[in-house]
């Protein structure tokens, strides 16, 4: 990891080459309208924030680490995961630009955060967040909303892991990704994560993910122009799959 800027000054002019805080918030893909207000409050934290970079596959923090910072994604993709003692892992979620993470955790992080691609983050010290939330009551409110959002995401994912077949899981995943990317039907969708990551997210093996995608391809439901892109040709069919209605 590399820290690029420890802006003690409130100078907004530094580093114009990358999008500023507010802009990211506006194009955020991972939250409802409530998130926007959170970003506004967090902007107060700007003076204590630092811009940090992580290379692909670098660990941002590990489960159990002291939760000293919360992060916001400027660019790139982050995975939140849990590792078991015997080397298995479960990816709880993928986070896209605009998403905030590590803000839930108090004391220790409850999961590990790793860079799926090269990422640029803004980090906020926990102490400052707590100070701000103590004075401005709205802040806690907004953090709360973010947490609720994450909660909903996980509940949906529980259903995926508990009830769905491999093909249904992949369908659900594509739809979730399309939704978060604000992609329109027929758009070319980015797949920033590898097949193994998708597998670890869906509780499958990499081979099973490949086969599921291949089958969707054969059925004309999706088109795969390149390894890291996908086009949802028939999102209605995907939705039928994801909702568990087997159509014959």
Partner DNA sequence: CGACTGATTGATACGTCTCAAGGATAGTGG
Partner DNA sequence: CCACTATCCTTGAGACGTATCAATCAGTCG
Q: Which does 179 bind (CB under 5 to 8 A by kind): a copy of itself, DNA, none?
A: none
* DSSP annotation string for 196-233: HHHHHHHTS-HHHHHHHHHHHHHTTSEE-SSTTEEEES
Name all contacts of 212-215 with Cβ < 8 Å and 24+ positions apart: 212/166, 212/167, 212/169, 212/170, 213/170, 215/167
Residues 156-175 that bind DNA (CB under 7 A): 165-167
Specify the length of the chain in residues.
Answer: 248
Q: Which is nearer to a copy of itself, 21 or 144 (CB)?
A: 144
Position 88 contacts a copy of itself (CB under 8 A): yes
- Residue of 3, 26, 55, 163 interacting with a copy of itself (CB under 8 A): 163
Q: Which is nearer to DNA, 41 or 168 (CB)?
A: 168
Q: Which is nearer to a copy of itself, 52 or 242 (CB)?
A: 242
- Specify the residue for token string 């009830």: 163
Q: Which does 165 bind (CB under 5 to 8 A by kind): DNA, a copy of itself, none?
A: DNA
For residue 120, the minimal CB distance to DNA (Å) is 17
Position 85 contacts a copy of itself (CB under 8 A): yes
CA distances from 179 to 30, 50, 184 (A): 9, 30, 8
Footprint of a copy of itself on this chain (CB under 8 A)?
Answer: 82, 84-86, 88-90, 92, 104-106, 110-111, 134, 137, 140-141, 143-144, 147-148, 150-152, 154-159, 161-163, 200, 202-203, 243-246
């Amino acid at each position: 990891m590399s820290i690029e800027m420890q802006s003690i000054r409130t100078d907004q002019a530094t580093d114009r080459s990358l999008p500023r805080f507010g802009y990211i918030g506006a194009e955020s893909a991972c939250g409802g309208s409530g998130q926007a207000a959170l970003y506004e409050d967090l902007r107060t934290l700007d003076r204590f924030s630092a811009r940090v970079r992580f290379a692909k596959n670098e660990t941002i923090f590990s489960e159990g680490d002291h939760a000293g910072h919360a992060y916001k994604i400027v660019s790139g993709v982050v995975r939140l995961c849990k590792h078991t003692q015997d080397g298995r892992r479960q990816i709880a979620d993928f986070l896209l630009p605009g998403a905030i993470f590590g803000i839930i955790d108090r004391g220790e992080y409850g999961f590990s955060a790793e860079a799926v691609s090269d990422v640029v983050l803004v980090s906020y010290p926990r102490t400052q967040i707590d100070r701000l939330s103590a004075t401005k009551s709205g802040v806690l409110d907004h953090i709360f909303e973010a947490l609720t959002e994450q909660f909903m995401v996980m509940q949906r994912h529980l259903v995926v892991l508990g009830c769905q077949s491999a093909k249904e899981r992949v369908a659900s995943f594509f739809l979730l990704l399309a939704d978060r990317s604000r992609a329109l039907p027929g758009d070319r969708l980015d797949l920033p994560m590898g097949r193994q990551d998708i597998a670890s997210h869906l509780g499958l093996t990499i081979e099973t993910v490949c086969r599921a995608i291949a089958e969707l391809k054969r059925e004309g439901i999706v088109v795969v122009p390149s390894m890291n892109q996908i086009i949802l040709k028939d999102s209605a069919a995907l939705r039928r799959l994801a909702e568990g209605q087997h159509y014959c």
